[in-house]
Structure 1
């Protein structure tokens, strides 16, 4: 927990209501997200028990497995889930496309991407783990042979695995857990472990009239009113479910079995419906927040990733391997690290509350422009070049060292460099050299707004959302010292034999 988050948590304890950690929303929310509330059978990692799913808050679709230990019923559950999710994905694929350019110069290439991408919302981080495991257990299933499954089963498994893979990249919004979304925008007066309970988290953010967040959270922890958000079930409910399933197995005829089955359906729906409503309540709360400037850019990249994977399935269609090879794992780790650094920097540029964390860490500072030198030139390779400076007065000590490259969030296209930092008892005076971004002017005067005005409050930071990522060779160019180019993955019969437990 960061220093500001700790302060916000303490303040939430004092005020009785969650405190904002951000001034804007840093995540994309689709107009029609697909919400999935899963339940699993107690004692088994991914044995599906039930799910509420769909895109309409008022009409969730109930999927149940009346006997989860029956392998055939498990796969029928997956088929019904595929019948809901795959058409939603296909709807995004049939949307209009737009053209974009990759590369530069001779390597420049035009590509197309969909204008829409699917967004999957689950209640908590455990829901993301469920999606990953369900994808692993279905994407490699054989569609021919003695244990053949419907074609939709491995198709769904590939997409679920892709969703789970993208969820590991910071900033991606293709698969999101509602508890993580809310806790990244609000600080409560409870522990991070308690924030993983959706009902109590929302109780702190929007408590009922006349109650504090702590009071409302205590009531929200009552499993009879707000059952667990899944995929685990409440132990008390497990006893009821066990009795019903025993009666279902012991029923003497189809009519009796169907009557008990309908009762099982009602009980399971009752367990998931409160969580379904809480997820959509969280969506409404997040939609009330203004959107950060970089959110649309990150969603554009998500749409690009969706387009590329859909194209891959059309052209190749092989499922993801059970394990990454060494080269793929190294490249994936590098991409995740780059995504983390870029996401943190973009959030800071979009949000002064996030930037305050960097000021505490000595990687940024805020001050008032007290002077500027518009006629300053420095020696260049062939001729003097125009390098104006501004002087910024900060009321706090500035720990950014001279010669550090910095940028201003209000002028992200203007690179700058610290020339001098003069500390005193009341703060610091910083001289900053501007190295470009003058609206194409190469000598004074600059166009209005290109340079910060005297009296303007500015923030400068050493973090840069446009920093160049590390460059790794393509897989086919992997040197022999690292094993050479890896062999493409080919599914085997053994891959399809993984037990569903």
Structure 2
């Protein structure tokens, strides 16, 4: 059943759907690839044996111009590319491939790995819109009768969302699960069908029998097309479900799209300027990425609480949103033409995450910020006192009885750059925690107590 009424992600109309099949036991291989746009049939390429380097690189070179042209179009249009894959497993496979391809000895293959790295590095960042897993996107909109891990099978997930008419749902789901939906083929299919065909192909190629080699290559292509086409079609179907008019607009997505466009422009500028993409980040770069991701999490949460109704209600239930009724507004004159305002609020929420000194902002207009001065539980409700920091003119016109929602401050994506510049200055000299040298020990001036445990217990 649907769990939201507003769309939870940006869907680029020019997005590319990429479906890859890897050979069993070869996690960094591409046995078959299907690439297409939303609403269009895919272009498919298959290699008979991806363990043959020339054949594998030939397939990757076939993919390169598609992505080069697509990235160039997005950069020229001031937007960002978006790649859809079937599941989290397919997303991880693409990310692994990007790392592997960047360090080959072929310049064009390195270029493909570099382009894929943009999507791969963005994938763990909250609010990113560059690399989308169809199963993750659907789970953000629907709840099913399955466990979360079972929802990673795109076929069964779509069956729950849109079950076939007149058929038992459990039988339909069981049938859907028989079709692979990630990057690996079925083990029985590998053993009985695919492996013998690959062996026949290699035997014919080693013997120089070109007609037989061509025949077996075509057999393998037909076999893998039967696997990759349903995966690609299911991804298309997932996008069509998410593009239905039932999902209302979500203003917070506009901000995320603008941020993604800035990130993409910055990434491409770095490549044009020749900056190197390392396999492992330095301690400084790693610390800056962690800080950036943490800020992204808070920004996405703050934006969703303001514009997404489901996120707001979840926050009210969990206690991250303070939903209160204004019981009193106190005015105190502290200087000529200078007043201090204090809110007295009451909330019937059962679980609140509040501490004295917390600063909260209204999630709707007017913009008012509040510093919590006192929190007390009185029977079934919580009584809160707080000093108004911003929006005093709005408070002056407000009457007791109003209902307000408070939460974190509005997202400020450009501030990430300022924070990273400050971190860069602070990390000019590597801290001892990230180096090989440990600081010298500081001698303890006071004598060690005879019973350390008893001393600690006395402190409690």
Residues 241-293 of structure 1, C-alpha deviations (whole Å, 9 max, x = no match): 11222222334633332232222212111101111111111112222322322
Aligned length in residues: 425
Matching of residue 312 in structure 1 with residue 270 in structure 2: yes
1:477 offset after TM fit, Å? 5.9
Report the equivalent of 1:64. Answer: 46
Among 453, 460, 465, the alignment partner of 2:406 is 460
Query: Does the 8 Å CA contact 2:302/2:407 hold for their aligned counterparts?
Result: no
Stretch moving more, 347-356 or 295-304: 347-356
Does the 8 Å CA contact 1:26/1:347 hold for their aligned counterparts? no
Q: TM-score when scaled to structure 2?
A: 0.82
Uncovered stretches (5+) of structure 2, i.e. residues with no partner:
436-460
* Residues 386 and 443, structure 1, Cα contact 8 Å, conserved in 2: no
Paired position in structure 1 for 2:130: 174
Per residue, is there more helix in 1 or in 2? 2
- In the alignment, structure 1 residue 340 sits paired with structure 2 residue 294: no
Equivalences for residues 368-383 of structure 1 within 5 A: 368-369=325-326, 373=329, 376-379=331-334, 383=337
1:91 pairs, out of 64, 68, 73, with 73
Deviation at 1:125, TM superposition (A): 1.3
Superposed CA deviations along residues 217-249 of structure 1, whole A, max 9, x for unmatched, are 222112xxxx22221111122121112222223
- The answer to whether residue 240 in structure 2 is matched with residue 274 in structure 1 is no
Q: Give the root-mean-square deviation of aligned CA atoms.
A: 3.1
Partner of 1:237: 189
Native 8 Å contact 1:178 1:279 kept in 2: yes
Deviation (angstroms), 1:417: 3.5
- Are the counterparts in 2 of residues 169 and 339 from structure 1 also a CA contact under 8 Å? yes
| Equivalent position of 1:408 in the other structure | 362
Give distance in 2, aligned partners of 1:243 and 1:233. Answer: 14
Structure-2 change in CA distance of 1:215 and 1:348 (3 Å): farther
Closer/same/farther in 2, CA of residues 341 and 412 from structure 1, 3 Å limit? farther
Rounded to whole Å, the distance in 2 between the matches of 1:466 and 1:76 is 44
Report which structure shows greater RCO (CA 8 Å, sep ≥6): 1
Cα separation, 2, equivalents of 1:30 and 1:45? 29
Sort the Cα spacing of 1:456 and 1:287 in 2 relative to 1 into closer, same or farther, 3 A. farther
Paired position in structure 1 for 2:120: 164
Secondary structure, counterpart of 1:280 in structure 2 = helix
Q: TM-score, normalised by structure 1?
A: 0.76
Structure 1: state its 5+ residue gaps. 1-17, 96-113, 143-148, 487-501
Q: Check 1:254–1:319 CA distance in 2 against 1; reply closer, same or farther (3 A cut).
A: farther
Q: Shift of residue 84 of structure 1?
A: 1.6
**Post-superposition shift, 1:184?**
2.5
Report deviation, 1:435. 3.2
CA contact (8 A) 1:122 1:178 kept: yes
Q: Does 1:196 align with 2:152?
A: yes
